[in-house]
Chains A and B, each alone.
Chain A
């Protein structure tokens, strides 16, 4: 089962300057079934990154469990692919080498892993950039490669922390459309984090609103797929759902 479940997750930081404990995440439970696209939205500082870093295994949890693929996890692992806001591509590797990195770590031979990488690059329309270095790409392309790199490792779940927050508005819309397209084609399990309400509603099957480290409410997004921004702009259902989520976030 390529699903993600978190039970009563919490995190307390120690702030050395104020010499006191700060609770960033409190008793969060969440279920992302196999092949589902769930988005967490909430204002800045509500604990989104903390949750994702715990799931990814970058931070130890103060309490609660994280279950991926029916196994309790602690520490980072290839079963959870991460897409970073800062793309985190290795500057000293070409695009192809970056995408082939996960298979390489699994011990896949050179020829085979390059084939895998080329397949995934083709999926995102990036074949022409395979031999380039990350710094030779535009911000949007870097972000695409980051997504492809995580996908090519075939993780049980894909964790994305505001991956499109630092690209320009037009590119962001294209990237969002591409992501829904890839999701429909491959049906990976995705947990997507953002502070951008329309983005969450456009992408996800379900939106979880987070407030001050707690889950405020979950909203089912029953919009038809494939989704495109041209269609969504005038879609009444999209407007009401966005308005509702926005209200929750603003009340948070």
Chain B
């Protein structure tokens, strides 16, 4: 009865993997890509599609090394990141301020809410033709698009956050002697922070897609431009490289910026807003 049943080696391997992933979550998000890459390489080597049309991982890696050595890739990547960072910072500051105003003031809410929803619905990319007429194919156009894209999710979520703070917290602060501006810094801002971060997460997600689109349509540099330039030249390798870099870039933003803030605020306070 009590004799140990021999465990299937495959099962043992699997449970080892699960334990490893539990200890180092990073491994869990890397290992699944290995079979995918292997499959990709096999399909390419089997010659199902013409190689120029569907290059393999090795080709993409070569092009990565090549473009990095020439300095093109680092320069383009830096361009994209700087645009995104500047636009996102400006959009976030403006978005939080506007969100506080609309969230706290009933009149501002009535006057601005429908306008905000409408401009959000137009979407950033539809502005491109007009922006090109105004500013040409330059940095202003790109910055406008990103600020516009980041602004709305931040505003809408800030308003949501401000309005979801329980009335009793305002009252508690008041009856403990907090003047109005202290209530803003001690109650409203921290209370809305989890929502603001959600807004920032969405805003960055949209803003970053908008940046790629803008770089494709009006760009003269950046990862989006690189991909579209490669498309004109018929170089699938560089398009794939661009896509992989975009994916990795998002992982980096998520792991290095967003996730740590979320862990330190809403999750710690037990008020996760998702």
Contact = CB atoms under 8 A, between A and B. Distances in A.
Contacts of B186: 90, 101
Contact of B177 (A86, A92, A106): A106
B190 A90 contact: yes
A76 B175 contact: yes
A102 interface: yes
B175 A133 contact: no
A53 B172 CA distance: 12
Given A133-B268, A133-B269, A135-B269, A88 B174 contact: no
A140 interface: no
Contacts of B114: none
Interface in B227-274: 265, 268-271
Interface in A63-108: 76-78, 80-82, 84, 86, 88-93, 101-102, 105-106
Interface string B184-198: 001100110100000
Contacts of B193: 92
A84 B168 contact: yes
Contacts of A48: none
B269 A91 contact: yes
A221 B16 CA distance: 68
Given A133-B269, A135-B269, A135-B271, A92 B190 contact: yes
A57, A81, A105, A133 — most chain B CB neighbours (10 Å): A105
A136 interface: yes
Contact of B171 (A88, A106, A136): A88
Contact of A105 (B166, B177, B265): B177
B270 A133 contact: yes
B168 A77 contact: no
A143 interface: no
Given A84-B168, A92-B265, A101-B186, A77 B175 contact: yes
**Contact-residue size bin, chain A (C-beta under 8 Å from the other chain):** 20 to 34
B217 interface: no
Among A84, A134, A135, A150, which residue has the most Cβ atoms of chain B within 10 A?
A84
A101 B172 CA distance: 10
A93 B186 CA distance: 9
Given A91-B270, A133-B268, A133-B270, A78 B175 contact: yes
Dominant SS among interface residues on chain A: loop
Interface string A114-138: 0000000000000000000111100
Contacts, number: 77
B62 interface: no
Given A92-B269, A133-B270, A84 B191 contact: no
B171 A76 contact: yes
B271 A78 contact: no
A88 B172 contact: yes
Contacts of B172: 82, 84, 88-90, 149
B169 to A, nearest CB: 6
Interface string A138-169: 00000000000110010000000000000000
B177 A88 contact: no
B182 interface: yes
B4 interface: no
Contacts of A102: 176-177
B104 interface: no
A38 interface: no
A153 B268 contact: no
Nearest to B172: A88
A82 B182 contact: no
A82 B171 CA distance: 9
Interface of A: 56-58, 76-78, 80-82, 84, 86, 88-93, 101-102, 105-106, 133-136, 149-150, 153
Closest 10 CB pairs of A and B: A135-B270, A78-B177, A76-B174, A88-B168, A92-B190, A102-B176, A88-B172, A105-B177, A91-B269, A82-B175
Interface of B: 166, 168-169, 171-179, 182, 186-187, 190-191, 193, 265, 268-271
12 contacts: A78-B175, A81-B176, A82-B175, A84-B171, A86-B166, A88-B172, A92-B191, A102-B177, A105-B173, A105-B178, A135-B269, A150-B176
Given A78-B176, A82-B172, 10 more contacts: A57-B174, A77-B174, A77-B177, A78-B175, A88-B172, A90-B172, A105-B182, A134-B270, A149-B176, A150-B176
